[in-house]
Chain A
Amino acid sequence: MSKRCAIIGVGQTHHAAVRKDLSISGVVREAALRALEDAGMDWRDIEAVVVGKAPDIIEGVMMPELFLAEALGCVGKPMFRVHTAGSVGGSTALVAAHLVQAGIHKRVLTVAFEKQSESDTTWAITPNIPFQPPLVAGAGGYFAPIIRSYIERSKAPADIGIRVAVKDRKNALRNPYAHLHLEDVSMEMVENSPMLWDPIRYLECCPSSDGACAMVLSDEKGGDAAPKPPAWVHASAMRSEPTMFPGRNQINPRAGRECAAALYKQAGIDDPRKDFDVAEIYIPFSWYEPMWMENLGFAEENQGWKMTEEGATAFDGDMPVNCSGGVLSSNPIGA
Chain B
Amino acid sequence: MASTEEIAPEKYEEQHVHEVYEQIASHFSSTRYKAWPIVKQFMQSLTPGSVGLDVGCGNGKYLAVNHDVFIIGSDRSSNLVKIASQHQPHAAIVADTLALPHQAASFDFAISIAVIHHLSTPERRTEAVAAILECLKDEGKALIYVWALEQKDSRRGWDEGSEQDLMVPWVMKIGKKNSPSGEATEKTFHRYYHLYRSGELESNIAAAGGEVVESGYEKDNWWAICKRKQIES
Indicate, yes or no, whether A interacts with B. Answer: no
Residues of B within 8 A of A (CB): none
